Chain A
Amino acid sequence: MMTRIIIIVFSLLAILSLKAGAYSEQLVIVVHKDTPIESLTKSEVIDIFMGKYTAYPNGQKALAVELTDQHTLKERFYRQLIGRSVASVNAYWARLKFAGRKRNAEVKDTQDEVIEYLRTTPLSIGYITVAKLDDNLKVVYQIDE
């Protein structure tokens, strides 16, 4: 009987830790804590990161910060957000940039650099994993797996 209880408890703990691990890797869209925005819709997030309308709902400019192409999180982000690869997103941005329509987002090599940029740049917006969240950042959208 005792053995069965121990097995059940350990199984529950294992499932919880797996779920917690998965949750900590979930992607969230974050802004600086002082940005006067509480949440964004998926459509608003897409418009900001695809350069269609780079502003928050209150009309203030949104300054997107992006990860470098080599970072695996970037592929995950665009696959989950719009179902497209980084190559496809880059092709789309190439037309905006080289036609002189839009300026590229700020690009950083690591999540820590993204977080530093978000901390120091008013109205900036970026994507990180839940595990990297801290008190200086505010989640405005959570991407569903």
Chain B
Amino acid sequence: MKRFALCSSLLLIHVSAIADDTTWSAFGTLGIVSSDSEQYGFRRNINNDEGVFNGDIDFKQLSLLGGQLEHRFSGTFDLVTQAVIRDRTDADWDDYVSLAFLRYTPSAQWTLRAGRLAPDLFTISDYRDINIAYTWANVPNEVYGMIPYTYFDGGDLSYTHRFSDATLTAKAFVGTSESVISTGHFTQSFDLEEMLGIAITFDKNDWNLQWRYTQASIGSEDTSADFFIDAIAQIPDVLWPNKQNIYNDLALEGQKVNYQSFSGQKYLNNWLLSFEVTHTDSDTDAIAELTNGYISAAYLQGAHTWYGVIAQTNSDPYQFSEPGVNALLFPELIAGIEGTFNFYSSSQQSISLGWRCDLSPTVTSKIQVSYTHIDENGDTLWINQGNNSPSQSVTTLIYTLSFAL
């Protein structure tokens, strides 16, 4: 059904393309990444199954090409479609369609959209592919590296109110989203269903404050969980009582997960200051509670912007503590369960310095060096080539050349 809707939208835009009220535009990024770790490979987010290791010069992680077609049926009704070509893991053809929605704007206050939309979990989620739109060479991985979603299918309704030189926008959205997550060795789908979210934006003069909350159900079975459930089922109940407790935690399907974000931005003369704090939690121990964030300061001088970002992701790793179970009897099984539960337990801090240069009104060049300290067992955001997860520091160099027409 979803693909039918997408095909219909694409057909509509194809037919509409003949008309005068159709406009096209494009954006793209050439991204080059190098990193200095033999064990931890840099990746854009947990969707990627390949990393950038010491000695690699990577062009795939951040490079992309996008095209957008918009057709206006009337002053209040239009259609927007967008396709983005980039390296993806286990992608179907429709994963390359990032937008395909109908938009109804009866007034400046109200907007209703339905179809395929950009996800709005965190502040930059819906334009993270538009490299030219943000100051940095890459969005802070500590916050955005845990989000593999590039679209959701559903709808949203937003209302904007203006008062005392300020605007307040409230948006509610519902839908579903699909993606895969990868450890590098193992990839599985991680879909979100029954997504229900709200976003509030307050804008006044040079200030911008945003708050978001999204609740969703995990829509895909964790295939690795079946292995552990089968193994535990074979253990006598006297040695592992109350097995249902851990079965419930291992079975991700249907579990609730909550995403929350608070961010702010302020222009202060030549300075642009921004921050974001995010929190992710769930009903299951299998998804670690995460508190992530960044602060950024950028100095603008003509076509040049110099910036610094400090970012952090933090979680409490899961430690096996099932009552009545002697962990010493099943060391390999317990280690496997802890490893699975701690997949989401990212823990690292980074400091980045960069320079953005606007080569023209539509072309921007950025270079950024990031120094990241990864805590022991906190390497979720990296592809780990080793057999353990030691604490380590990694330096990453990113260059991007991006445009938007």
**A residues bordering B, Cβ < 8 Å?**
41, 43, 47, 52-55, 59, 61-62, 69, 85-88, 90-92, 94-95, 97-101, 103-104
> Could you show 27 A-B contacts with beta carbons less than 8 Å apart?
A41-B165, A43-B205, A53-B167, A59-B108, A61-B108, A69-B361, A69-B362, A85-B303, A85-B358, A87-B303, A87-B362, A90-B361, A90-B404, A91-B134, A94-B27, A94-B127, A94-B133, A95-B134, A98-B25, A98-B82, A98-B129, A98-B404, A99-B118, A99-B127, A99-B130, A100-B99, A103-B72
> CA of A69 to CA of B359 in the docked complex: distance in angstroms?
13
- A59: B residues at CB distance < 8 A: 107-109
Check A53/B160 contact, CB under 8 A, given A59-B107, A90-B362: yes
Of chain A, the residue at the smallest CB distance from B106 is A61
Q: How many interface residues does B have (CB within 8 Å)?
A: 42
Q: Tell me if B113 is interfacial: C-beta within 8 Å of chain A.
A: yes
For chain B residues 88-121, which have a beta carbon within 8 Å of chain A?
Answer: 99, 101, 103, 107-109, 113, 117-118
Q: Give the shortest distance, in Å, between A12 (CB) and chain B (any CB).
A: 38
For chain B residues 46-86, which have a beta carbon within 8 Å of chain A?
Answer: 66, 68, 70, 72, 75, 78, 80, 82
- A100: B residues at CB distance < 8 A: 80, 82, 99, 101, 103, 113, 117-118, 126
A98 adjacent to B68 (CB under 8 Å)? yes
- B160: A residues at CB distance < 8 A: 52-53
**Chain B 1-43 interface 0/1 with A at a Cβ cutoff of 8 Å (1 = within):** 0000000000000000000000101010000000000000000
**Interface SS of B by simple majority:** strand
Among B27, B72, B78, B404, max chain A CB count under 10 A is at B404
- A55: B residues at CB distance < 8 A: 107-109, 162
A98 adjacent to B66 (CB under 8 Å)? yes
The one of B82, B132, B205, B303 that contacts A94, using a Cβ cutoff of 8 Å = B132
- A91: B residues at CB distance < 8 A: 132-134, 358, 364, 404
> CA of A101 to CA of B160 in the docked complex: distance in angstroms?
12
- B133: A residues at CB distance < 8 A: 91-92, 94-95, 98
- B360: A residues at CB distance < 8 A: 69, 87
**Chain B 110-154 interface 0/1 with A at a Cβ cutoff of 8 Å (1 = within):** 000100011000000011011011100000000000000000000
B27 adjacent to A98 (CB under 8 Å)? yes
Q: Give the shortest distance, in Å, between B263 (CB) and chain A (any CB).
A: 13
Of chain A, the residue at the smallest CB distance from B113 is A100
A95 adjacent to B362 (CB under 8 Å)? no
> CA of A99 to CA of B101 in the docked complex: distance in angstroms?
11
- B167: A residues at CB distance < 8 A: 47, 52-53
**Chain B 334-351 interface 0/1 with A at a Cβ cutoff of 8 Å (1 = within):** 000000000000000000
B361 adjacent to A87 (CB under 8 Å)? yes
For chain B residues 373-405, which have a beta carbon within 8 Å of chain A?
Answer: 404
- B127: A residues at CB distance < 8 A: 94-95, 98-99
